[in-house]
Amino acid sequence: MATAKKITIHDVALAAGVSVSTVSLVLSGKGRISTATGERVNAAIEELGFVRNRQASALRGGQSGVIGLIVRDLSAPFYAELTAGLTEALEAQGRMVFLLHGGKDGEQLAQRFSLLLNQGVDGVVIAGAAGSSDDLRRMAEEKAIPVIFASRASYLDDVDTVRPDNMQAAQLLTEHLIRNGHQRIAWLGGQSSSLTRAERVGGYCATLLKFGLPFHSDWV
């Protein structure tokens, strides 16, 4: 039985009526390509069933089109929503997500991080597993891979983070309770070693002082 012919980038270019270099630019998302040309190329890709060889692309141009995502707890609804949203946004850019479960252990995080770097990802997003070791920075710098921490603060200096303003959130919550007549307000939640908890407790304490209420250490 004859095997199906493998569709190549040359076939896509011929079907779309453009050059091979134009198809390559559309696939990489680089260069100035008109909307009409991009749509024509993508239509040809879909019609022919062209599958991009990401490993070969990475060897040629240093871009794999894959972003690594390390999530602290895949079972938590918050991280499930974060993963879904990030995946949708990256797929709209023609990228794929390489998802790994980071766990709560720092050693596990370093192992997962190293695995992603060895897979040739273009960047890594660490969600909820804030690193406390310079090992992550060193490994990323060696391979020139950008790293972003999402949803939680990092103990590392000079790293990009996308996260809530924990202090402001605690301030708003505490102020809401005070303005509704509550004065004996305790704080529950978070491990003592958590930087996120420290930020939230800071906002809570600052608001108590702002309204002239006493702080009780045994209420935290």
Q: Is residue 88 part of a domain?
A: yes
Which token pair is 149?
A: 């921490």
Residue 175: give its domain's CATH number: 3.40.50.2300
Nearest alpha-carbon partner for 186 in 196, 195, 173, 199: 173
Question: Residues in the chain with pLDDT < 70?
Answer: 1-5, 28-31, 51-62, 104-107, 129-134, 152-158
> What CA–CA distance (Å, rounded) separates 197 from 203?
10
Q: What is the span of the domain harbouring residue 171?
A: 166-219
Q: Is residue 71 part of a domain?
A: yes
Q: Is residue 104 part of a domain?
A: yes
Q: Please state whether the predicted TM-score (pTM) of the whole model is above 0.85.
A: no
CB 121 within 8 A of CB 148: no
Q: Is residue 3 part of a domain?
A: no
**pLDDT score at 59:** 45
DSSP 8-state class, residue 49: T
Amino acid identity of residue 68, one-letter, is G
> How many of the other CB atoms lie within 10 Å of CB of 168?
12
Last residue in a domain, options 133, 162, 191 = 162
173 in the same domain as 99 = no
For the CA atoms of the chain, what is the radius of gyration?
A: 24
**pLDDT score at 75:** 85
121 in the same domain as 66 = yes
**pLDDT score at 179:** 95
Q: Is residue 4 part of a domain?
A: no
> What CA–CA distance (Å, rounded) separates 131 from 90?
24
154 in the same domain as 89 = yes
**pLDDT score at 181:** 94
**What is the total count of domains within the chain?**
3
**173, exposed or middle or buried, with CB in 10 Å at 0-12, 13-18, 19+?**
middle
158 in the same domain as 111 = yes
**pLDDT score at 205:** 96
DSSP 8-state class, residue 118: H
197 in the same domain as 134 = no
H or E stretch covering 176: helix 166-179
Which token pair is 146?
A: 């950008």
Q: What are phi and psi of 136, to 5 degrees?
A: -65, -45
**pLDDT score at 15:** 92
> What CA–CA distance (Å, rounded) separates 212 from 205?
11
Number of helices (H), then strands (E), in the chain: 9, 5
163-204 residue pLDDT tens: 788 899 999 999 999 999 999 999 988 777 777 888 899 999
171 in the same domain as 107 = no
